[in-house]
A and B are shown apart, each in its own frame.
Chain A
Amino acid sequence: MKISVIITLKKDVLDPQGKVIHQTLGGMGFNDINEVRQGKYFEIDSKESDPKIAKDKVEEMCKKLLANLVIENYKIIDAQ
């Protein structure tokens, strides 16, 4: 079972990389952008076949390792 996770920076955390990407895009002519925020994406291929159990495990992984909850939010986007 493959599960995807997206990690994003919380709203009030400064994202200097996102800022530079925003500026560069502006320099390339993409002028209609309000903001760019950079995040992380994980694909986890689990041996677990029960979607509920697999998702719960991934949630635990997010809390314990994949995300730092002081600055980041996680979203489990896909279980199939």
Chain B
Amino acid sequence: MKSSVITFPGSNCDRDMDVALKKFGFKNKMVWHNDTELPKSDLVVLPGGFSYGDYLRCGSMASKSKIMKSVLNFANSGGMVMGICNGFQILVETGLVPGVLLRNKYLEFICKNVFVKINNKKNTYFKNMDNDVLEFHIAHNEGNYFCTKDQLKEIEDNEQVAINYCNRDGDLEEQFNPNGSIKNIAGIFNKEKNVLGMMPHPERMIDASLSGEDGSLFFNNLINNLK
């Protein structure tokens, strides 16, 4: 399976993602934001970081960079595109997934492990996952997911909510919501479920001795689903 990770000026999780993808069998290529063509890929990843210093709005500049035209074409023709953290912010700015990510409710940069519950397994990202709850890491200042009431209805009707913040047991109470996101939303799909944006970082949970291995479960499952 071939993957591509896009590096924008200010991306800082691109190499972590490269390590993670290779560890689970992807042949990964790094792609510079100023390139115009994507290499042949089964998966394209927009990594975390602070592209363009978060100027104007997080992800807004990166969403207009040269490579994004090819990424948009790839996504619109059914290609798998995953945006993590800043990558999720870039995805909402392109309009590939609905909504926006606002400043965290309590104005704090949050850096900690969280639990997320998989809301929808009828897609290539989470199909065949045994676990319902995963422990991932978050590190963001703007992860407060927001959308209009009409958008929320559409998102729910189309089963576009991918994961929600929860506790270890999968309870979706407001107190387990770290950043004020509507309905504890941590990640969403586009309508067709080939594009996934999420704030948590699975690539930071791929080593038992350093962090945890719930990211390993995610990547292993993902590459098997793509085969």
Contact B103 A17 (CB under 8 A): yes
Contact B180 A68 (CB under 8 A): no
**Cross-interface CB contact of A13 among B60, B104, B105, B146, cutoff 8 Å:** B146
Q: Interface on B for A, CB 8 Å cutoff? A: 56-57, 60, 64, 93, 99-100, 102-107, 144, 146-148, 151, 180
Work out how many contacts link A and B, with CB atoms closer than 8 A.
Answer: 32
Ordered by A's residue number, 28 sampled pairs between the chains whose C-beta atoms are within 8 Å are: A13-B146, A14-B102, A14-B105, A14-B144, A14-B146, A14-B180, A16-B103, A16-B104, A16-B106, A16-B107, A17-B103, A17-B107, A20-B107, A65-B56, A65-B60, A65-B64, A66-B56, A68-B57, A68-B60, A68-B93, A68-B100, A70-B100, A70-B146, A70-B147, A70-B148, A70-B151, A71-B100, A71-B146
- Chain A to chain B: the 8 pairs with minimum beta-carbon distance, closest first: A70-B100, A71-B100, A16-B107, A68-B100, A16-B103, A68-B57, A16-B105, A20-B107
Question: Binary interface profile of A, 63-77, with partner B (CB < 8 Å = 1, else 0)?
Answer: 001101011000000
Known pairs A14-B105, A16-B106; list 18 more (Cβ under 8 Å). A14-B102, A14-B144, A16-B104, A16-B107, A17-B103, A17-B107, A20-B107, A65-B56, A65-B60, A65-B64, A66-B56, A68-B93, A70-B99, A70-B100, A70-B146, A70-B147, A70-B148, A71-B102
User: Least Cβ distance of A9 to chain B in Å?
Assistant: 9
Q: Which residues of B have CB within 8 Å of A20?
A: 107
Question: Binary interface profile of A, 1-39, with partner B (CB < 8 Å = 1, else 0)?
Answer: 000000000000110110010000000000000000000
Q: Interface on A for B, CB 8 Å cutoff? A: 13-14, 16-17, 20, 65-66, 68, 70-71
CA distance A4 to B157 in the complex (A): 40
